Structure formats: C-alpha cells, structure tokens
Amino acid sequence: ETGVTQSPTHLIKTRGQQVTLRCSSQSGHNTVSWYQQALGQGPQFIFQYYREEENGRGNFPPRFSGLQFPNYSSELNVNALELDDSALYLCASSLRSATRDTQYFGPGTRLTVL
C-alpha cells in the first residue's frame, strides 16, 4: 500500500458530461501528478501540481483541468467527455518533484464513457 487513495473506483458517464476524480496524496508529499492509461498502453502524463500550482502539462486539451488543495489532495476534472476518454486514471504523489523523486501511485479510477 502506497498511502495514495483515489475515488471513485469506477465511474460510468455519457458523452458530453463532466467528471471529477479525486486523489489523496501520501502524507508529507506536496506534488501530485495525473496520468491517463488506455487499455494495453502505458500511462500518459496529463499534468503535475506542486504546492497548488500547475507545474508541467502533457499533450492534453484544456478540457482536462486540475486542482490541488492546501492539504495536497487533488482533483482531475474533465469536461465535455468523449468516448476516447475511457481509461484508467492514475494519480501519483511524490515528495517534491515527479521528475526527480520516486512516485507513489494510487489504485486508479476506471472511467467508462458511453
């Protein structure tokens, strides 16, 4: 167990809807990153938050947005859902930097868009 939790575990939405996924970081970690993992693929980096500010973003459109709260928990919001957004969404926390420190992953949220 990494101490990183995510909710909900599974979620079913329809195309065009909006969704919010949640992540609680491991204690003492102030950096959280979000990833999208399509079936049979490696995770794709969405963005990283460090001390409540976005600090790096992958090749995802603006309808993917996030927040990090003072307690370092985080949300991923996706607007105008598309069928291709169906994936496992993973969050990971690290001590300072996702690119320099070991990342600890949560179990993921499985999103299905119909």
Min dist CB 110 to another protein, Å, is 7
* Residue 108 phi, psi (nearest 5): 95, 160
Q: Which residues in this chain contact another protein in the complex, by CB under 8 A? A: 2, 4, 6, 33, 35, 40-45, 48, 56, 58, 88, 90, 92, 98-100, 102-108, 110
C-alpha 71/C-alpha 39 separation (Å) is 32
Nearer to another protein, 16 or 61 (CB): 61
CB 113 within 8 A of CB 19: no
Nearer to another protein, 10 or 16 (CB): 10
Nearer to another protein, 19 or 36 (CB): 36
Q: What is the per-residue burial (b if ≥16 Cβ within 10 Å, else e) of 48-87? A: bbbeeeebeeeeeeeebbbebeeebbbbbebeebeeebbb
Min dist CB 73 to another protein, Å, is 17
Min dist CB 114 to another protein, Å, is 19
